[in-house]
Amino acid sequence: MSISPDGVPVLGVVGAGQLARMMHQATIGLGIELRVLSTSPVDSAAVVLADSAVHVGSWDELDDLLAFAAGCDVVTFDHELVDPAHLIALEDAGHVLRPGAASELFAQDKRHQREQLAAAGFPVPRFRTVETADDLVAHGDETGWPVVAKAIRGGYDGRGVWMVDDEAAARALVAETSADGVQLLAEERVELAREVAVAVARRPGGEQVAWPVTETVQQDGICVELLVPAPVSEELAEEARQLAAAVVDHVGGVGVVAVELFVTTDGRLLVNELALRPHNSMHWTIEGARTSQFQNHVRAALDLPLGSTAMTAPAVATVNVLGPEDGTDPRTRLAGALAIEGVAVHLYGKSSRPGRKLGHVTAVADDHDTAVTRARQAAAALTGQDLS
């Protein structure tokens, strides 16, 4: 890592969404200079940063990426959408990417991830590359219907994932996605007891810390609730931590790496997804852990010592704040949420649209039930829902 002449590092973040916004918030105290490559001057992070720290440009244009990286000592990311070839070009030009291009590919290309992890012996759902509709049908016949189809690139928050009920649906889907140029991966549909995530912060030299295992509650493919510590046995939690640590080492991630895991009804763990950046499954760490994922991501990216991941309370719950149907802006409804004990509110500075992820609330408590109840009440208060 080259450090600016005055010795104060400049960290560039490609993307200026809520993750970059919370990175800025978490690292103001470190006194480092954080810059963002933002698609507009009013992105979530851009509006809370000095204009000189906001480089307006496209993460899809290599020239913009190169110009941005030229002003940074280290470049990191708030999403995994940059073209892998651009990442390699940045590294070839001598820029320091954390995570690097080879690691980032595990989050960008589901086939690469599945093939590499399976070859290394990590447990993953049974999968098959879909070249033709016959492949998807064969996978359904072999692993049972419905079968899961996933876009190899670009899917998130429920987009790019399909539950396919039968052969006819499989052929229709492949016809449609092929026409759109979307490549698919077929996966067995796993019988789930629950989903959990383990996030690790890892420095370039390999030093790691992990936060406690987190239950992620999904609705329509979107993570809507977090519960920490996850209500699993200590044995399973330890297995999850060891699996995540080994996966992250294999991937060579630097910064925060979130490993999303399936817990099957018969008690096995399977790797579901990887995110090589701060992840919404770990937003609870802002209040619920001694060091947040955002601060440790920045520390890891700058190769600084990592902070404690211990919890600050026995139980923590986080609930996403999605834009209500009537278009109400949660920023106008803060009072109801803040009146609830133990609650912290995080709004991302985005205009309200139905279903849009506008923020999250975290509640700490002495037990899970209280934490979840508080967090749900706060989210409902912000969006004008009636929970009764």
Summarize as ranges the residues that interact with its own copies (CB under 8 A).
6-8, 21-22, 24-25, 28-32, 46-51, 287, 290, 299, 304-308, 312-313, 329-332, 334-335, 338-339, 341-349, 359, 364
Residue 8 or 163 with smaller CB distance to its own copies? 8
- Give DSSP secondary structure letters for 93-158: TT--BSS-HHHHHHHH-HHHHHHHHHHTT-----EEEESSHHHHHHHHHHH-SSEEEEESSS--TT
121, 57, 117, 67: which is closest to 90 by C-alpha?
67
Residue 207 or 238 with smaller CB distance to its own copies? 207
297, 284, 304: which is closest to 362 by C-alpha?
284
Residue 61 or 329 with smaller CB distance to its own copies? 329
Burial class (CB in 10 A: 0-12, 13-18, 19+), 259: buried
Residues 286-309 as b/e (b if ≥16 CB within 10 A, e otherwise) read bbbbebbbbbbbbbbbbbeebeeb
Closest separation in Å from C-beta 347 to its own copies: 3
- Identity of the residue numbered 360: H
Closest separation in Å from C-beta 45 to its own copies: 10
Residues 6+ positions from 86 with CB-CB distance below 8 Å = 60, 62, 65
Q: CA Rg, the chain, in Å? A: 21
The residue to which tokens 């359904």 are assigned: 140
- Going by the DSSP 8-state scheme, the letter that residue 289 receives in this structure is B
Closest separation in Å from C-beta 165 to its own copies: 41
Closest separation in Å from C-beta 82 to its own copies: 25
Residue 212 or 330 with smaller CB distance to its own copies? 330
Residue 50 or 168 with smaller CB distance to its own copies? 50
Residue 46 or 261 with smaller CB distance to its own copies? 46
Residue 213 or 300 with smaller CB distance to its own copies? 300
Token duo for residue 349: 């500075």
Closest separation in Å from C-beta 47 to its own copies: 6
Closest separation in Å from C-beta 142 to its own copies: 48
Closest separation in Å from C-beta 350 to its own copies: 9
Closest separation in Å from C-beta 23 to its own copies: 11
Strands 127-130 and 74-77: unpaired
DSSP three-state, residue 37:
strand
- What is the Cβ-side half-sphere exposure of residue 203, based on CA atoms within 13 angstroms? 13
Burial class (CB in 10 A: 0-12, 13-18, 19+), 126: middle
Residue 217 or 313 with smaller CB distance to its own copies? 313
